[in-house]
Structure 1
Amino acid sequence: MPSLPSLTDGAWTASPWLMAPAALILWVAVFLAVKTIVLGAMRGVARRTAWAWDDILIDALSVPLLIAIVSSGLVVFNRILPLQPEWDRAFDILFDFSIVLALVMFVDRATRGVLDRFAAGSAVMQGARGLIQAGVRGVAIGIGILIFLDSIGISITPILASLGVGSLAVALALQDTLANLFAGLYMIADKPIEPGHMIRLPGGEEGHVTKIGWRSTWIRQPPNSMLVIPNAKLAGGIIINYDLPQREIAVTVPIGVRYDSDLGSVESVTLDVARGVQRTVAGAVAEAEPVLRFLGFGDSSIQLNVTLRARDFTGMAEVRHEFVKRVQSRFRQEGIIIPYPVRTLDFPPAHLEGLKDILGGGRRD
């Protein structure tokens, strides 16, 4: 430590050893007052606007500005004192470190505010919030260290080269893990599925999405078992989402009636049953109008489809169940027959005698 010079009482008033602390205190006090006034005014303006990002920016600036004010005051303190060059160098390094620290803290606090805002409205972001914040924080700290080393005269070129080679080796070793990570980030950003959605996978598995993590997605299947699938496999497959673009879902029931049926009566009776199901079944959409369309002539019946609307995938089974029960009962009352499969075989007359003999029809007493 440098020793204080011997000064008379009158010389102390003009001494840099008195002026430097006074300048430091005055510098910090003035700029803290300016900081308080400016940030207070900015908060007042932010409260009157619907834009939420200004609140995040103001909150992120508070602590980094305090660090910058104190570190710059120390530089003023150093410049006033008649110190040795090595002390000047030490204060310069301290200032560089403080500014880099302030920038890293600003990025970290701003990132946390943005993630908190997104996580408030997204269950998916809540699960990935910690991972994303840790990743951004690590990148910010790494860049901050490189900036600090470069500012104090240490060459960062060998470090960058080593980081490049090391990153390549890590990427190759963690290829599957990184594929799942980026697939999870893609699903969080693109939102093809979200927790609570009912989906079907290419292999026929279906269930409700319960969690989208950074490595895998969890799906609760109807038997109450949990299917855990890697994000990379899920993102690369064809997914049927029953909750997009809306939760309502069409319930199509195929029916066949005899060829001699009165199709007008069939249509009227079937739609009457379908409307009753739509109005009374809990899982159905009460205001929806069912649709009936004749499809064509089948092997043993005239084919038609009836389409009803369910509130969601869970209600689809209930709507179909109740409609099949009611339409079968009503058809019995109206005399409308749903035929068994019938196939008519035509044989050339020359073959009939032989068939009769084989079947016993040509036996004579």
Structure 2
Amino acid sequence: MLKCFKLRLVAVIAALILCAGTVLAQDLPGIDMQRWTDLANRAEASVDEGNLDEGLLETYRNGLAAYRDQFEVARSTNASRINSLRAQISMLGTPIAGLPEADEVAFQRRELEEQLVMLNAPVMVADTAFARTNGLINEIDTLLRARKTDALIKRVGSPLIPANWPAALGIFNGALAQLWNEVGPEGATERRAEFMANLQVIVVAGLAGLLLILMGQRWSKKIVARFNRQSDGSGVNVWRFVLSLLRIVFPLIGLALLSFAMFTTGYLGEMGEQIAVIIPLFGGLMLCFRWVADQVFARNDEDALILLSQQERAQARLMVCGITLFFIANILVVHILEMDGADVSVVAIVNFPLTILTSYCLYRMGQVLRRCGSETADLEDDELTRASTLARVVRSLGTLSIGVAIAATVSHILGFYNASSFILLPTILTLITLGLVLTLQRFSADVYGAISGTGKLARESLYPIFFGLILLMLAVPLLAIVWGARVADITEVWAAFRRGFSVGNSRISPTDFIYFAVIFSIGYVATRLAQGALKTNVLPKTKIDKGGQNAIVSGLGYVGIFLAALVAIMGAGIDLSSLAIVAGALSVGIGFGLQNIVSNFVSGIILLVERPISEGDWIEVSGGQMGYVRDISVRSTRIETFDKTDVIVPNADLISGTVTNYTRGNTLGRVIVPIGVAYGSDTRKVEAILREIAEAQPMVLANPAPAILFMNFGPSSLDFEIRMFLRDVNWSVAVKNDVNHAIAERFAQEGVEIPFPQQDVWLRTAPKPVPHDENHQTDEPAGRGIVQRADGYLTMDASEDDDDGDDNGDTSDSPIDGDGGA
């Protein structure tokens, strides 16, 4: 039998090799394997050479990335069928060495294994191709990053060396001359004819463009000012923001018209046409920078987004204008020199003055930002907290701006032009981007205020923070590109994010989380709807008491949420079996740390199932806390005391401790009213009076009838008790109040006295020493008697003498204070 098993194993392995070889020789479904192989071979050769153009490497990378996505899909081919076959094989069990296996079982196992081999073959090919493609992409990315790093640390000629100036300025003058020569007399006849043919269009477009450029800003300001005077309401800030965009739209349209007029003349050469194309782009960039500065450093204190004085905000707006102007001039100069094929050393020398001016404006801007939040005396505490948080961030950006301005200037002086440009221009774009995020956050708050009707109060809510986080997340890819990341790097991160991560034998991707969230949300909403239907429509029509209804509703909520989570996990395809060992290890530590919480949780379930107490019950727990049960949750129970305070009692204390439930099952309860009468009173008469009073109470039950009991012969009174059963024990205090008032009135009418404690106090002093005389005997008493009268005063017996020895027999009265002293 062992020999037969070995033969079957060899046959399966041979079939696996045969099938794998067959599939490797063929294309995967929907994938041209031969074309992929050629592309992969060329990419490997290019990476091995290491000196190809970056554009060609990017082309190879994009092609490989497309194939990698196809292989990623092919890796899951026949996944459900493969899992089914593996489950069937596992159900057959593992063959035991030395023991024979039934022929039917062995035949079925062999068939299933052969099918599994056939289905696994394309998956193996896809896995191999995916690994090769992904490796090539990583190698290309590494090579491109290394080249960029080498370019950053490359040192060119210093602009402070005078010997380098003539050559650089000559090349720059040559580029400008070439740009002008393209508009020269060559082809003048044809150009003039084209110009005259389009003269009307050129004049109209040019004049309209100039008019919009010169007057667009003024027109937009007038429109906004007129709107501010005529509008009022929760949506005024939204429309004000939208209308402020006209400050960009009007001049930008003018620049586009002017660029179109320049194109139409026909006098522009190749370089001139490229400059005309980028004019609207640069103009739009400048307008956007200016608009963001006007929003962040607004002239109106109420609309300003950063806490600065008016003078500081005006200075900040001026610095932004300078930075924008020099920034665009820098880019334009670089573009002209690159079109002429100038070397980077020439660009570094020509751009040095612009770098100095840009760095100076950035340095001044950093100084302004570092003063943010200095004027906070007039703010409230909550506004001061938010302002201080934003001020710390702004001051940090100011410090960063100062450091970048200094570092960029020093790097450019030392000859590291690429490093200087790498830190200077991205810093400016980062500040503008963050200002735009802050502006859009305010706009989103205004939109929410207009929708909700809260107006400017929406700016102080939590929603602007939520919107700000979303905007920051959207700005992260843009900032990454600004700081030198390639688009391919962003797409690579997104591709890795979509592929997910492995946990044991399972791979969890963002789509799994989306499926989980959607399914759980549906289950949660369905559970809440079922709870609402039960609570309002179904259970009130039954004979179940209120506590039982609340228990059913709560139990349905817990079961529904648990089932929703379970179905969501299954629907998302998350395999938790691989986490069983980890979960088991963690459960031990969690069990020790959270045993009280688990105990309260189990106790809460017991309370809901057993229902010793229910919502609305009047209970008293250990410690003397008394009140009504208002809510029974999983961990604790909330009791509302009679003074309208909430007491949170852990459920475990209710299960293990002593609880008195005054209204369990029904509201019937007994109340006892004690009363004492003076000695000598007619006890039968007192009993009859008390019975009449008790029977006259509307809340007292006639059956069982009230009981009047003569309890004790007290030290100062004859003690009686009225024992009454009430229809609703919740009214016990009110019934006691009415009964006591009735007793006081009837006893006054019937002449029955309610005594108060009385007591005689005798104080004894030590015997007074008397001289002994053999011939005279004295009758001096051993002590003096002091009697406490009914009015609370001490009086001395008249037969006794004063301390001075005279026998005048006078007495003295002295009141007793609260401490019992005379």
Flag whether TM exceeds 0.5 (same fold).
Answer: yes
Seen in structure 2, the aligned counterparts of structure 1 residues 295 and 88 have a Cα distance that, compared at 3 Å, is: farther
Aligned to 2:648: 228
**Is 1:298–2:714 an aligned residue pair?**
yes
**Normalized per residue, which structure has more helix?**
2
Seen in structure 2, the aligned counterparts of structure 1 residues 89 and 235 have a Cα distance that, compared at 3 Å, is: farther
Aligned to 2:628: 208
The partner residue of 1:307 within 723, 727, 731 is: 723
SS at match of 1:217: strand
Q: Which amino acid aligns with 1:193?
A: I
Contact 1:131 1:214 in 2 (8 A): no
Alpha-carbon deviation of 1:232? 2.0
Q: Which moved more, 1:169-178 or 1:289-298?
A: 169-178
The partner residue of 1:85 within 107, 115, 126 is: 115
Alpha-carbon deviation of 1:87? 9.9
Q: Which amino acid aligns with 1:355?
A: R
Contact 2:679 2:717 in 1 (8 A): yes
The partner residue of 2:684 within 255, 264, 268 is: 264
- What TM-score do the two structures reach when normalised by structure 1? 0.58
Distance 2:757 2:558 in 1: 60
Aligned to 1:129: 556
Q: Which amino acid aligns with 2:115?
A: P
Alpha-carbon deviation of 1:221? 1.3
Aligned to 1:326: 742
Seen in structure 2, the aligned counterparts of structure 1 residues 139 and 355 have a Cα distance that, compared at 3 Å, is: farther
Aligned to 2:753: 337
Q: Which amino acid aligns with 1:249?
A: G
State how many pairs are aligned: 255
Unaligned runs of 5+ in 1: 3-70, 76-83, 91-107, 150-155
Alpha-carbon deviation of 1:184? 0.5
The partner residue of 1:172 within 582, 592, 598 is: 592
Q: Which amino acid aligns with 1:260?
A: G
Distance 2:549 2:584 in 1: 35
SS at match of 1:199: strand
Seen in structure 2, the aligned counterparts of structure 1 residues 252 and 197 have a Cα distance that, compared at 3 Å, is: same
Q: Which moved more, 1:243-252 or 1:167-176?
A: 167-176
Distance 2:591 2:565 in 1: 16
Seen in structure 2, the aligned counterparts of structure 1 residues 214 and 208 have a Cα distance that, compared at 3 Å, is: same
Seen in structure 2, the aligned counterparts of structure 1 residues 308 and 257 have a Cα distance that, compared at 3 Å, is: same
Seen in structure 2, the aligned counterparts of structure 1 residues 87 and 292 have a Cα distance that, compared at 3 Å, is: farther
- What TM-score do the two structures reach when normalised by structure 2? 0.27
Distance 2:700 2:117 in 1: 80
Q: Deviations over 1:138-174 (max 9, x none)?
A: 57888x89xx98xxxxxx6x76544432322332232
Distance 1:285 1:118 in 2: 36
Contact 2:690 2:743 in 1 (8 A): yes
Q: Deviations over 1:170-199 (max 9, x none)?
A: 322322221211111111112111000011
Aligned to 2:796: 360
Q: Which amino acid aligns with 1:306?
A: I
Distance 1:357 1:220 in 2: 55
Distance 1:346 1:226 in 2: 52
Q: Deviations over 1:249-296 (max 9, x none)?
A: 11101111222122111111110111112x3xxx44466521111112
Distance 1:347 1:227 in 2: 51
The partner residue of 1:274 within 673, 694, 710 is: 694
Seen in structure 2, the aligned counterparts of structure 1 residues 295 and 353 have a Cα distance that, compared at 3 Å, is: farther
SS at match of 1:343: coil
Q: Which amino acid aligns with 1:360?
A: M
Distance 2:561 2:747 in 1: 65
Distance 2:119 2:595 in 1: 45
Distance 2:685 2:653 in 1: 51
Structure 2 counterparts to residues 87-106 of structure 1, below 5 A: none
Contact 2:667 2:730 in 1 (8 A): no
Q: Which amino acid aligns with 1:313?
A: V
SS at match of 2:696: helix
Q: Which amino acid aligns with 1:294?
A: F
Seen in structure 2, the aligned counterparts of structure 1 residues 333 and 167 have a Cα distance that, compared at 3 Å, is: same
Q: Deviations over 1:37-75 (max 9, x none)?
A: xxxxxxxxxxxxxxxxxxxxxxxxxxxxxxxxxx9xxx9
Alpha-carbon deviation of 1:356? 2.7
Distance 2:786 2:615 in 1: 69
SS at match of 2:603: helix
**Is 1:253–2:673 an aligned residue pair?**
yes
Alpha-carbon deviation of 1:310? 2.4
Q: Which amino acid aligns with 1:253?
A: V
SS at match of 2:756: coil
* Structure with bigger gyration radius: 2
Seen in structure 2, the aligned counterparts of structure 1 residues 310 and 271 have a Cα distance that, compared at 3 Å, is: same
Distance 1:257 1:88 in 2: 104
Q: Which amino acid aligns with 2:688?
A: S
Contact 1:299 1:342 in 2 (8 A): no
Alpha-carbon deviation of 1:323? 0.5
Alpha-carbon deviation of 1:233? 2.6
SS at match of 1:294: strand
Seen in structure 2, the aligned counterparts of structure 1 residues 252 and 131 have a Cα distance that, compared at 3 Å, is: same
Distance 2:720 2:602 in 1: 46
Seen in structure 2, the aligned counterparts of structure 1 residues 170 and 137 have a Cα distance that, compared at 3 Å, is: farther
Alpha-carbon deviation of 1:224? 1.6
Aligned to 1:193: 613
Contact 2:763 2:786 in 1 (8 A): no
Q: Which amino acid aligns with 1:85?
A: Q
Contact 2:763 2:785 in 1 (8 A): no
Distance 1:165 1:193 in 2: 37
Distance 2:562 2:587 in 1: 14
RMSD: 4.2
Distance 1:307 1:284 in 2: 10
Seen in structure 2, the aligned counterparts of structure 1 residues 353 and 141 have a Cα distance that, compared at 3 Å, is: same
Distance 2:677 2:782 in 1: 35
Seen in structure 2, the aligned counterparts of structure 1 residues 258 and 173 have a Cα distance that, compared at 3 Å, is: same
Distance 2:762 2:710 in 1: 28
SS at match of 1:271: helix
Contact 1:284 1:315 in 2 (8 A): no
